[in-house]
Structure 1
């Protein structure tokens, strides 16, 4: 029998998925925007939604509170992010217990960025966990379903794509039931990742992450944070529109829609949208897809 509260099982057996990611807002105005977006996206009946975890555990209470409210007040299945950064194992156990009490059964387990930011040296928190695989095993032992991150072009700190694949295999061996990628820029990057995972025996569903281009500067900055560059073929379509924000946004939606179509054709089990707590672009892409997701 299909367990509709287990994201891993839903991805393996429940058909094509469609999911959204939100982050805890910093103020009351942001909170209002977030819940309006959640309300507008609920009508699309996503397979699940996720709530991120601030650097160094800075949004612990808000992440748990938002995830709890989604579980209690909406029809959507929530998943909370959790990172190794800034927590001892005792503190991590407290977060997991908070989630369990809130009725949350799914966690995305992440090492997290170093306290100094992406690309700076990594050091584990004293008394904490060092690797994402350690956190996967820790959360899995508490009886929750665990997802992990995957990287279409390899993690920025990985010495090679092969090493990156072995890290994903370690997370799979520790109990990861599924993976969600950082934003995919090219279909070939996603299919390459899936192939590498299969070659090392990491046999878990890998859902591609989608972020439409709504502004060139902001998108470039986010891509560079992950140690990558915007593909030339995308820049060739976007650059001529830099002085026309409306036209640039429309082209960004078209590019994202085309990417979604091709990813689904390539066998992706679903699509995971980084919403930035806004609903309009995601709803536009959803409406433009030629087949129901």
Structure 2
């Protein structure tokens, strides 16, 4: 089996304890020589600064490539592009460009009156700058705002055509879900790489709730396995086994890159990577 290349998603800390957890995550996973760390993005106000500060600190202290999330939520076009330029000034030229989720309890996305209406507008603006590598989201299961998988595919093609060079998918629970989506994208003429997003389940109840929110389908068999494992206190063992099998199937089907959603808890992700043959090749620098 070919050893896949990996990347990891983390989120910016909101407290001192969370800052240490982020740093511990980076220390644990950086030796696996990831393609990049992505740092998620909060909508509006100080959350944008948290993303910038976390991304800049991670890049500076680790020496690794960092991709910062950027969304259309709660800001004008000028404000969003000012944030993008701040990233570039800090040496972060990899951007994960997203529309963003509804805020303040809203059920649907509402654009800022002077803002980007959707992710394609944001991607086009970033591409026009000429100095960003742009990644985007993709959805193997039907997005909550979409009516079909085909609409997911059509939106992804529009984002690639607007200037994105790679897609990172939402997590999913069966390899066939991704493989069917990959085939549909190929049929639509999408040639940019589509990297599957992988979620090692650190907390089943949270994963189940988030899956319902984002449209990720949980097969009955998988749900039953995790419910039983939770009762028997074997959740971590099942999570590692299920995630490793999922990734192994994907790699055997020609997938070269995997993107892990770590939730700033690195242990399961590291164990899965080791099981896949991704071993230590680098070490993170000490914080100055």
TM-score by length of 2: 0.91
Conservation of the 8 A alpha-carbon contact between 1:133 and 1:170 = yes
How far 1:184 sits from its partner (Å)?
2.0
Q: Could you tell me which runs of 5 or more consecutive residues in structure 2 were left unpaired when the two chains were aligned.
A: 281-288
User: Which of the numbers 204, 209, 212 marks the counterpart of 2:192?
Assistant: 204
- 1:251-290 equivalences under 5 Å are 251-290=238-277
Structure-2 residue corresponding to 1:6: none
Conservation of the 8 A alpha-carbon contact between 1:17 and 1:269 = yes
Distance 2:88 2:209 in 1: 36
How far 1:142 sits from its partner (Å)?
1.4
Structure-2 residue corresponding to 1:29: 17
Conservation of the 8 A alpha-carbon contact between 1:18 and 1:47 = yes
How far 1:238 sits from its partner (Å)?
2.0
Greater relative contact order (Cα < 8 A, sep 6+): 2
- 1:113-262 equivalences under 5 Å are 113-117=101-105, 120-143=107-130, 144-245=132-233, 247-262=234-249
SS at 1:198 equivalent: helix
Q: Could you tell me which runs of 5 or more consecutive residues in structure 1 were left unpaired when the two chains were aligned.
A: 1-14
Conservation of the 8 A alpha-carbon contact between 2:13 and 2:54 = no
Q: Could you list the runs of 4 or more consecutive aligned residues of structure 1 that deviate by over 6 angstroms after TM superposition?
A: none
- Inter-CA distance 104–20: structure 2 relative to 1 (3 Å threshold): same
User: Which of the numbers 98, 101, 104 marks the counterpart of 1:110?
Assistant: 98
Question: What is the total number of aligned residue pairs between the two structures?
Answer: 277
Distance 1:147 1:83 in 2: 12
Kindly indicate whether residue 50 of structure 2 is the aligned counterpart of residue 55 of structure 1: no
User: Which of the numbers 63, 68, 91 marks the counterpart of 1:75?
Assistant: 63
How far 1:283 sits from its partner (Å)?
0.9
- Inter-CA distance 262–159: structure 2 relative to 1 (3 Å threshold): same
Distance 2:140 2:53 in 1: 31
- Inter-CA distance 153–23: structure 2 relative to 1 (3 Å threshold): same
Q: Deviations over 1:148-199 (max 9, x none)?
A: 0000112111111112111111101101100000112111110111111112
Distance 2:126 2:201 in 1: 34
Q: Deviations over 1:209-240 (max 9, x none)?
A: 11112332111111111124421221232222
Distance 1:137 1:173 in 2: 9
Distance 1:207 1:255 in 2: 19
Kindly indicate whether residue 71 of structure 2 is the aligned counterpart of residue 87 of structure 1: no
- Inter-CA distance 148–188: structure 2 relative to 1 (3 Å threshold): same
How far 1:75 sits from its partner (Å)?
2.8
Kindly indicate whether residue 26 of structure 2 is the aligned counterpart of residue 38 of structure 1: yes
Q: Deviations over 1:39-62 (max 9, x none)?
A: 121111111110000134652111
Distance 1:196 1:98 in 2: 37
SS at 1:20 equivalent: strand
SS at 2:6 equivalent: strand
